[in-house]
Structure 1
């Protein structure tokens, strides 16, 4: 099936600049972008054209790090630091998902909000509860979204009602990963919450599970200095926090490590060597006073990077907000530490991370290329209309900048995933 779309197409196939193609006609066949033409090709002249007028068409957003059970927690307790916030807000909230009826009420709201904000692909944390995390996967599938979902693992340093035995935690993840085989759009991801909440035995077993089932991994890394020191005390035989994940077989090309603010040069080198992806979560890091990832430095070192909302430490699921926050915190870091020669990240670099960069993770997992309007890529798109009069004479790129900084979900008029309008 071929569909034609006419509009102003903006994307970032490379991070150095926005590519703007105005008044283009996109040829989409069986959910894939074929080409962008200046006019309707003769062979398609009999087909209707969906004319989007002077509005913008951009790749849909991808969220590479988000906690579904914390959806109702957005904004709560953000005067606290990470560990206190977990103890007083996050863990009590996650405990409620032992109730499957509660999960059935909350998770469809989370999926609907992802859709509303234009995040049509995501990598999602559930809780330790097998049944409720399966309900989460089903809610995302029903919403028509693409996602990786992980059942969280914790066998120590957690509240009693969330702490599993090592055997049960591993078995639950094994069962969860196999149960998701029947879904079309949602796949499993191995999910140790973070090193302090897992024994070395559990971490090593999860590393084996990831390799045996050929599954990706997600976790947290060096979000705060106190957390990194705690890991050093818990696992003194490993050379660093990053080395501990590597020692357990959990660090590689299919690994997503969120935050990663406090890494030594040796750890950065190991990340590059293992081709793991670090996921920047600017909103969460500022809200919990964790710090600021030296994103520009990592980019210049050749680290693979992604971007996440990290709801609920992040206070919004809108990835266009994360794009702007990425630019803003990089400027703050340059101001606050001028002696370190940090560089500010450009808007195009941040937008690239939220689309093409994050999309590369899905591409590596065999879901086809996505994240830009390139031949053969999945046609994942948002139709953005800022409602400005023609007399304003504002360029398409300036309108996009305005949307990223001052727009909201009301300006997203259509959401298209793999050629299908949701």
Structure 2
């Protein structure tokens, strides 16, 4: 197997046993298929060069304040809402959807509009280090297929979902009939899989229980099962939403029970928010292997609630981070990481017994935790031989950057500074499956 590139320097990542492992002077080789070929101590460079057939002069040496880390994983983002991110944050969830979201999402029948927004959101998230994104699109099949095409062209790893919703929309022109939703979902899945994109796959996407009839939910559960597909939706984001679900599904014991009874809670399911899940519901998540996407920026911006991350982790439920654009106004997973730590501290002020989230744990949620939540951890999420090389090259001394580094500050402090203060200026290279996707080349 020939090598594509070899880096030498500091590597930081998470493992299954520790939230943060720092490898100070290591060599990482990437093969021609974009997979990690070896991770060895730097002192072994001569032997590795003979074994793998590369010249030591080919090794890319990271600078003093540079490091490689796994790519960031956004487990929940509405690509279709990116056009109004940073605005329209004055209403609670259900009013917000009907006033702002549904009218904007209805515009995606216009493919020129869709192409403009989807190109910009994929570019922006890649610049911010998001190598994997789990996208909600809209109810429009062709525009959703276009999002998949754009993600593939830019090289982003993506799960793309055509939204399904057949009831309870206060915007009459933005919903489907049950038959339309079922038929178009099948068409979307068929057409996207037929493209055979290397790293872009479909995800079955009921918007949430409020906007889907029981018959539609049952059908989507069958579609996901028959095609072995991922599933994404929302759960327990807002108190009024939780009450409404109880009224709409009176035969279900809980919000979680709604998805459970419709076969939508599997080991390939990720549910956004989960602010009000009970211990009993979290136990069901654990038993089914389903995951939660923690979207703290959105939870705060829409005044929805605060997820107790420690309770989720103590229940051994898979957990990742989501930006939830545009309820969350930043497209950066780094922002989600920071708000996750803030939320943990807010909750600890109310309960002194609560152990706050450490930056090492938050780092894990943003990388390996996200890949586990999306059931992609066999391919990506950390640096292991055989996994795809999804990575960021971070330079903390980049000219004009947002962070100052001082003498004597070691690797752990440098990483912590990046997580708390860094931005896209520090992310000088982005790789997905060994392909350098940032800086951009003309498509």
TM-score bin, normalised by smaller chain: over 0.9
Separation in structure 2 between the aligned mates of residue 270 and residue 383 of structure 1, nearest angstrom:
38
Q: Which residue of 1 aligns with 2:234?
A: 220
The alpha-carbon deviation at position 138 of structure 1 amounts to 0.8
- 1:66-92 CA-partner distances (Å, limit 9, x unpaired): 000011121212122111111111111
- 1:121-153 CA-partner distances (Å, limit 9, x unpaired): 111000001111111111111111110100000
Distance 1:215 1:330, change over 3 A: same
Q: Which residue of 1 aligns with 2:90?
A: 79
The 5-angstrom pairing of residues 335-350 of structure 1 reads 335-338=349-352, 341-350=353-362
Unaligned segments of structure 2, at least 5 residues: 399-403, 438-443
Separation in structure 1 between the aligned mates of residue 160 and residue 408 of structure 2, nearest angstrom:
44
Q: Which residue of 2 aligns with 1:36?
A: 40
Q: Which moved more, 1:230-239 or 1:181-190?
A: 181-190
Q: Which moved more, 1:270-279 or 1:233-242?
A: 270-279
Q: Which residue of 1 aligns with 2:296?
A: 282
- 1:15-49 CA-partner distances (Å, limit 9, x unpaired): 74421111221122232222232231424154210
Q: Is residue 380 of structure 2 the alignment partner of residue 370 of structure 1?
A: yes
Distance 1:234 1:274, change over 3 A: same
- 1:255-275 CA-partner distances (Å, limit 9, x unpaired): 111101101222122111111
Q: Which residue of 2 aligns with 1:325?
A: 339
Aligned pairs, number: 418
The 5-angstrom pairing of residues 13-412 of structure 1 reads 13-14=15-16, 16-29=18-31, 30-33=33-36, 34-39=38-43, 40-44=45-49, 46-47=54-55, 48-54=58-64, 55-158=66-169, 159-181=171-193, 182-184=195-197, 185-338=199-352, 341-362=353-374, 364=375, 368-387=378-397, 392-412=407-427
Distance 1:86 1:391, change over 3 A: closer
Separation in structure 1 between the aligned mates of residue 405 and residue 188 of structure 2, nearest angstrom:
52
Separation in structure 2 between the aligned mates of residue 42 and residue 267 of structure 1, nearest angstrom:
53
The alpha-carbon deviation at position 369 of structure 1 amounts to 2.5
Q: How much is the aligned-residue C-alpha RMSD, in angstroms?
A: 1.6
- 1:152-209 CA-partner distances (Å, limit 9, x unpaired): 0010011211110000011111100010111312110000000000000000010011
> Retained in 2: the 8 A contact 1:255–1:276?
yes
Separation in structure 2 between the aligned mates of residue 138 and residue 256 of structure 1, nearest angstrom:
23
Separation in structure 1 between the aligned mates of residue 40 and residue 303 of structure 2, nearest angstrom:
44
SS of match in other structure, 1:147: strand
> Retained in 2: the 8 A contact 1:192–1:219?
yes
Separation in structure 2 between the aligned mates of residue 32 and residue 284 of structure 1, nearest angstrom:
34
Q: Which residue of 1 aligns with 2:10?
A: 8
TM-score (norm 1): 0.95
SS of match in other structure, 2:63: strand
Distance 1:357 1:15, change over 3 A: farther
Runs of 4+ that moved beyond 4 A: 388-391
> Retained in 1: the 8 A contact 2:242–2:255?
yes
Unaligned segments of structure 1, at least 5 residues: none
> Retained in 1: the 8 A contact 2:7–2:28?
yes
Separation in structure 2 between the aligned mates of residue 72 and residue 393 of structure 1, nearest angstrom:
43
Distance 1:142 1:262, change over 3 A: same
Separation in structure 2 between the aligned mates of residue 15 and residue 139 of structure 1, nearest angstrom:
36
Separation in structure 2 between the aligned mates of residue 36 and residue 418 of structure 1, nearest angstrom:
20
The alpha-carbon deviation at position 96 of structure 1 amounts to 1.0
